[in-house]
Amino acid sequence: MYKLNNWLIHLDHPLVTDLLKNEEKRIGYHDHLVILMLCENAGKINTKEDLLNRAWPGKHVSEGSLTQSISAIRTLIEDDGKQQKYLKTVAKVGYKLESEAVSWLEESDSQLDSQDHLLTGDPSGKAESFEDSTDKNTQHTFGRNQIYIALGLVFIVIAALFPLVFATKEPNLTSWLPLTKMFASEVLTVYCDNEEEAKVVAEGVTPLVSEEVKQGRLSRLILAETVLNSV
């Protein structure tokens, strides 16, 4: 197939492939026949009559149809109609496609060329995917760290509000005291033997626990103060 500027021209179908985007595009049937003849005779002048006979075989059409096809081809290859860098107009004769703008590629070569353009011409695709993946991993790690921090704060509050020793002297521990439910809410239950202490703990812990429940990381927190009877 022919390579014209950044396009691959298919031979059997009115299709062209954008090498920069690796996307196929359908072009007009007659435009396809005109561009094939121009590529076949690159560097040579193609008369208007020959182009009309090739693209509209057996039909009598005006030169205006050919002019429209030439304009469509120039738009495709981004060639200015005034500067005519690739496709030249030969006054009163026809058109010439510059030979340096055209090359022939085997099908395997065209696939490799397309891949090379994807790797070198638009490097942002894989970079964005990698960055998105990195961002997701960072967000996941950050969210997990938030859980650890929140739970750590809960335990710090519990440790601060639930002293391990309530007496000034070391007791002689002989038996367990029964636990009583002193506080209960939708997210928190506190078992201990002192109602005032239960309220203090609930006031300090409830905001943190409520946030964890709201985030779906906890369903409920149950606290129990273990106290031993002394003699």
Domain ranges of the chain: 2-122, 126-230
User: Residue 171's pLDDT is what?
Assistant: 47
Assess whether pLDDT exceeds 80 at residue 177.
Answer: no
Going by C-beta distance under 8 Å and a sequence separation of 6 or more, which residues neighbour residue 162? 192, 197, 201, 223, 225
Assess whether pLDDT exceeds 80 at residue 9.
Answer: yes
User: Residue 208's pLDDT is what?
Assistant: 83
Assess whether pLDDT exceeds 80 at residue 170.
Answer: no
Task: Tally helices (H) and strands (E) across the chain.
Answer: 6, 13
What pTM did the predictor assign? 0.48
Q: Which stretch of 110-114, 218-222, 227-231 has the lowest confidence by average pLDDT?
A: 227-231
Going by C-beta distance under 8 Å and a sequence separation of 6 or more, which residues neighbour residue 175? 228, 229
How many CB atoms lie under 10 A from the CB of residue 42? 19
Nearest to 207 by CA among 218, 191, 194, 196: 218
Assess whether pLDDT exceeds 70 at residue 2.
Answer: yes
Assess whether pLDDT exceeds 60 at residue 125.
Answer: no
8 contacts 16 by C-beta, under 8 angstroms: yes
Structure tokens of 65?
Answer: 């149809």
Mapped onto helix, strand or coil, the DSSP state of residue 208 is helix
The pairing of strands 102-104 and 2-4 is antiparallel
- pLDDT bin (cut points 50, 70, 90) of residue 148 is low
- pLDDT bin (cut points 50, 70, 90) of residue 166 is very low
What gap in Å lies between CA 191 and CA 194, rounded to an integer?
Answer: 9
Query: How does pLDDT run across 97-116, given as a tens digit for each residue?
Result: 999 999 998 766 555 555 55
How many CB atoms lie under 10 A from the CB of residue 135? 10
Residue owning tokens 């009877």:
229
User: Residue 69's pLDDT is what?
Assistant: 96
Q: What would the mean pLDDT of 157-183 be, rounded to a whole number?
A: 54
Share of the chain above pLDDT 90, in %: 41
Structure tokens of 111?
Answer: 């696939």
**Which class would CATH give 2-122?**
mainly alpha
